[in-house]
Structure 1
C-alpha cells in the first residue's frame, strides 16, 4: 500500500482540543429501571492524536463514541468538536455539522454496492452539495492505496480494501475527528494490520484525530493512548501502549 503523499494540503492552526467531553452522563430507561451507560465522563483529546477506548463488554465504549461523535445526545454534560459545542445544537443542525465535520469507520463497511470506489469516497461531499476537490480526492485515494481501483465496485474488493474505502470516505471532508468502532473486527490479521497502520499514519502524517473503540490489544497498541472504561466510568489510561501492557490491564478489569 502506498504511503501518504508528502505535499499535504496546508491547514490552519488546530484548535486547542479536537474532542472534549465535560461531565458527560448518559442514562437509559429499561422498564422501571434506569441504567447508567456513562457516568461523569470528562476527557480532552488533542488534535492529531490517536486514542483507543477499551473496557469489558457493556462498559459503555460504543455509547461514549456515539456521544463524542454526535450520534447520540448525552443526558447531561457537554461535548465539543473543535470550537463547536455539538450538545448545544438542535438535532437538524447537529446532523448537518456531523455530516460536514465528522468521519466514521465501522466494523460494517457501509459502502453503496452500486457505486464505484471513487463515488463511495466522495458520497459525503455529494450529500452536502459540495464540489469535489480533485486534488484532495487524488491525495486520499493514493493515501489508502486505492488510486488504481477507483472504478471498481465494493463486490470486486477484499474486506480490507473495502475498509480502506471507508477510511478514505471518512477523510475526504477533512473532519475534526474520525471515529472508528471496531474497524478491524471483520478482517483477517493481515488486513487488520494494514487498516491500523493506515489510521496510525493518518495521525502522524495528516494530523488527523482518530478515536477508536476496540476490544483487541493489538489494535489498541497502534494508538498514542488507551482510555479504559468500566461500568460507564473512566478508570485509567495508558500512554504509548504495548500489547502486553494492554492485555495485562484488561485482565485486571475482568475482560478475560
Structure 2
C-alpha cells in the first residue's frame, strides 16, 4: 500500500521551480527524514507530500514557523489541532471555554512535553524551545495517520530532541520530517532522502546511506 506517490514531478511556487524530476513514495510504517542544505527544497517536498496526503488521511503537521497564535494560551493553541473535526459554532465555543475533557487530555500531552506549568500562559511569553514544543503538542493532540514536520526539534537541545523524537515514534507509525541533525536523523529514520542541486540525489534505507553521501549534500 502506498499513501502518496510523486513521479518525476516538478515542484515549486508559481513560475519558480525548486525541485525537478521528483519521484517519491511513502508507505505506512516508514519514517522518512529529508536531509540537505538550507534551500535544497526540503520544505517544498514536505509541502507537496502534505498536500497529497490530506484529502484521504488524517495528518498532523509541525510547520517550521510553528503557526501558533501568540495572543492565545498554550491550551487554546493546542485545542486548534482538532478544529477541523467540528463545525464553526462548536469550535468557537471550544476556544472560548475549553471543555473539561479536552483540558484533561491536553494537560496530559503537555506534561509529556514538559509544558504542564505553562498550560494557561500566552504563547507570546514563551521561549523558542517552548513554542516549538507547543507546536508538537498541537500535533500530538491532533493525532492521525502521518506526522509531517519541518525541523520540528530544531529549537531544543540534543537531549530534548532525542526525547521528542521518541515520542513522535510512539505516537505516529508513519512520518516525513526534515531534520538538520544527521545523528538524530540516523537514529530516527527508517529511510533517508538527500536533496541537493534541486534534485533528490539519494533515497535509501537509513542503514545503507554512508557518511560520504551525507557529506556531499552539504559540500559547497
- Residues 155 and 23 (structure 1), Cα distance of their counterparts in 2 relative to 1, 3 Å cut: same
* TM-aligned CA deviation for residue 169 of structure 1: 0.4
Deviations 1:106-135 (A, max 9, x none): 332222122111111001324543676535
Report the equivalent of 1:222: 187
- State the Cα RMSD in Å: 3.2
- 2:145 touches 2:172 (CA, 8 Å); kept in 1? no
Q: How do 1:117-136 residues align onto structure 2 when only pairs under 5 Å count?
A: 117-126=74-83, 128-129=85-86, 134=102, 136=105
* TM-aligned CA deviation for residue 228 of structure 1: 1.6
1:25 corresponds to which of 2, 9, 28: 9
Deviations 1:42-100 (A, max 9, x none): 322333x4321013444432211101001xxxxxxxx4x3xxxx5xxxxxxx5xx78xx
Pairing 1:53–2:34 present: yes
**Structure 1 unmatched runs, 5+:** 1-15, 71-78, 87-93
2:67 corresponds to which of 101, 107, 110: 110
Report the equivalent of 1:42: 24
What's the TM-score, normalizing by structure 1? Answer: 0.66
Higher-helix-fraction structure: 2
Report the equivalent of 1:201: 167
* TM-aligned CA deviation for residue 255 of structure 1: 3.1
Aligned length: 206
Aligned counterparts of 1:194 and 1:136: Cα–Cα separation in 2: 22
Aligned counterparts of 1:64 and 1:228: Cα–Cα separation in 2: 11
* TM-aligned CA deviation for residue 37 of structure 1: 1.3
Report the equivalent of 1:213: 178
Aligned counterparts of 2:119 and 2:14: Cα–Cα separation in 1: 46
- Residues 121 and 35 (structure 1), Cα distance of their counterparts in 2 relative to 1, 3 Å cut: closer
- Residues 235 and 112 (structure 1), Cα distance of their counterparts in 2 relative to 1, 3 Å cut: same
